[in-house]
Amino acid sequence: MDFYRDATWVLEYMEQQDAKGRISGSLQTLVLKSCKVYKIKSNPKHIYAVLDSCWKYKPYLEKVMKKSGILDEIPKRKGKPMYTRLTLLLLCHDLLLSKAKRIQMGKHPIKSYVLQFKTRLKAEMVKLKLKLKVRSLSELFEQDDLENDVTPVRWIRINPLRCPEHDIESVLAELNRKFPTRVDRWQDIKAGTIYYDEFVPHLFGIHPHDKITSHELYKRGKIIIQDRASCFPATILNPTAKDIIIDACAAPGNKTTHVASYMFGGEGIKSNARDVKPQIFAFEKDPERAKILQKMVKIAGCSQNIQVNVGDFTKLATPTAFKGVTGLIVDPSCSGSGIFGRKYVDSLNRRKAQSQQNSNNEEDVIPDEQEDEVEEEEEEEIGENGMPKHVSKKDALERRLAKLSSFQFQVVKHAMSFPQATKIVYSTCSIHAEENERVVIDLLMDKKVQEQGWTVSKRDSVIPTWPRRGLVSEFQEVFRDDQEHCEQIAGGCIRALPREDGGIGFFAVSFERTL
Ligand SMILES: C[S@@+](CC[C@H](N)C(=O)[O-])C[C@H]1O[C@@H](n2cnc3c(N)ncnc32)[C@H](O)[C@@H]1O
């Protein structure tokens, strides 16, 4: 019963967040967060596994439950129903939709109550499936995933740090054996074909249905799944083995290990020599995510080059403690609005969870691209009558973006305080100008930033052939009379639209200065 009680709390929290329009990102993140909020004792992974399915089928389960009458006859104690709607939903889910089709609990009055309705519930479920013309409810989602929600391309990059002598040719040859047909445009990718990306070196697109996570190349860290746009920051930073780099907000570490591949992936560079000192300092505030980062760094073969620091970058990373830093990657928490479809993110997480289950060796698993954890304070606004005030979804979004952009500004501004740094790449997977161009504007208008000499890089050093750039209109709002200047700043920014540009929605900008 403890498990169902815990899962009910989390489900309640999810309903509250949904009502505020906040379930736009990963369900996994939300579940883990609420497990922390409620100090839940049950295994969060187990809770996530059940709620992932329960949430998906909730509208259907609710119909079935309503028709079965299970909610109308709940026994009462002192005039109050003894069982909550959500606990009953969880039990019905397990009875009707779990693999074992049984309620995982010993003898308990709530279990007996649900079992009284077993025949009616099952009959209503059959009727619903007939009405929807499916044999299993999962068919509804497969179709939906295919049409709307799945990434159009699975992007994979070769990790030179795990290639013999850092020579990528052998890995490329293996990829070509698996995907014998090369296509010229990512839009033409079909199962079994491969696309060589023109913007990021050693990056390839394959069909999302082509299984790659079971392949040895993936298991050995020779290829890493990473969305194309998410590869832009390291490509723009383009560091060499002489640089000292900070990744300010690093977990799960896709960009960190990508930076390492630029710095230490060249043939002839010995990243495994004994006297190697870390030249990449990765910061991650969340200890759980820092563990994933640590694991990712290990799998990618760059533990010796990367020092993981657990804590707040703006406090821990002082220019005196980290001397000689030449460049920074700043990819802080954001709204995640460029990540299309919760189902896409969750399907990645599910795949990760599955491969973890299938593997006895934790080191085998490379975590996927992860959805951002959004920093939010849970504050309920109280109205004059002492009741929580209703806040519209639009207002709630505006407030959330205001909070996020102020945090993002602070993180980049702190990054700009490193005296030897000459290049900083700031990025988000948000489509909102508030978190993107407007953060750039605020930084450019900041007196200290101006004194430090930071400007937006010119387009020719920011993947110039990528066609979609920053929104000129945003810069025009501020620098009205200087059209050339607006276009120049927008040119130093990159935007990627979700799905339309072959992956997640993304924004990146490069700042630089000469010392
Ligand atoms: C967008 S994710 C980073 C993704 C990562 N760059 C990648 O490509 O794999 C943002 C991360 O920043 C972390 N974070 C947020 N605020 C931070 C801070 N002040 N200092 C360090 N890490 C922070 C979050 O916990 C989260 O893991």
Domains assigned to the chain: 2-147 (no CATH), 229-368+395-515 (3.40.50.150)
Of the chain, the end-to-end C-alpha distance in Å amounts to: 64
Give the DSSP per-residue string, 197-210. -SSSTTEEEE-TTS
Residue 270 is predicted with a pLDDT of: 62
Residue 439 structure tokens: 């953060």
Residue 400 structure tokens: 């959330």
- Tell me, what's the ipTM? 0.99
Say how far apart CA 199 and CA 21 lie, in whole Å.
Answer: 35
SS3 147: helix
**Res. 325: pLDDT tops 90:** yes
Q: Residue 76: in which H helix or E strand, if any?
A: strand 76-77
Q: Which has more confidence, 367 or 417? A: 417
CA of 428 to the centre of ligand 1 (A): 10
Residue 275 is predicted with a pLDDT of: 64
From the CB of 373, is ligand 1 less than 6 Å away?
Answer: yes
Residue 36 is predicted with a pLDDT of: 82
- Residues 367-381, mean pLDDT to the nearest whole number: 44
pLDDT per position as a tens digit, 30-56: 788 788 888 888 888 888 888 888 988
From the CB of 166, is ligand 1 less than 6 Å away?
Answer: no
Residue 370 is predicted with a pLDDT of: 41
From the CB of 208, is ligand 1 less than 6 Å away?
Answer: no
Say how far apart CA 69 and CA 65 lie, in whole Å.
Answer: 6
Residue 357 is predicted with a pLDDT of: 43
358 is in an annotated binding site: no
From the CB of 281, is ligand 1 less than 6 Å away?
Answer: no
- Of the pLDDT bands very low, low, confident and very high (cuts 50, 70, 90), residue 203 is very high
pLDDT per position as a tens digit, 487-514: 999 999 999 999 899 999 999 999 999 9
229 is in an annotated binding site: no
272 is in an annotated binding site: no
Q: Which of 26, 259, 284 to mutate to test the pocket of ligand 1 (most atoms within 8 A of CB)?
A: 284
Per the document, the length of the chain is 515
Bridge partners for 512 per DSSP: 423, 455
From the CB of 367, is ligand 1 less than 6 Å away?
Answer: no
Which one of the listed residues 54, 163, 231, 429 is annotated catalytic? 429
Residue 286 is predicted with a pLDDT of: 93
Say how far apart CA 280 and CA 481 lie, in whole Å.
Answer: 41
**Res. 26: pLDDT tops 80:** no
Q: Which has more confidence, 379 or 194? A: 194
| Residue 371: C-alpha distances to residues 50, 347, 426, 468 (Å) | 20, 12, 17, 23
Say how far apart CA 513 and CA 329 lie, in whole Å.
Answer: 15
Closest atom, ligand 1, to C-alpha of 252:
9
Residue 34 is predicted with a pLDDT of: 81
**Res. 373: pLDDT tops 70:** no
| Sheet architecture: strand order including 154-158 | 181-183, 193-196, 203-206, 154-158, 223-225
**pTM, 2 dp:** 0.73
CB burial readout 320-353, b (16+ within 10 A) else e: eebeebbbbbbbbbbbbbbbbbbbbbbbbbbebb
- Of the pLDDT bands very low, low, confident and very high (cuts 50, 70, 90), residue 166 is confident
43 is in an annotated binding site: no
- Of the pLDDT bands very low, low, confident and very high (cuts 50, 70, 90), residue 167 is confident
Closest atom, ligand 1, to C-alpha of 370:
9
What DSSP state is assigned to residue 385?
Answer: T
Give the DSSP per-residue string, 244-302. -EEESS-TT-HHHHHHHHHHH-STT--TT-TT----EEEEES-HHHHHHHHHHHHHTT-
Lowest-pLDDT choice from 258-267, 411-420, 499-508: 258-267
Residue 35 appears among annotated catalytic residues: no
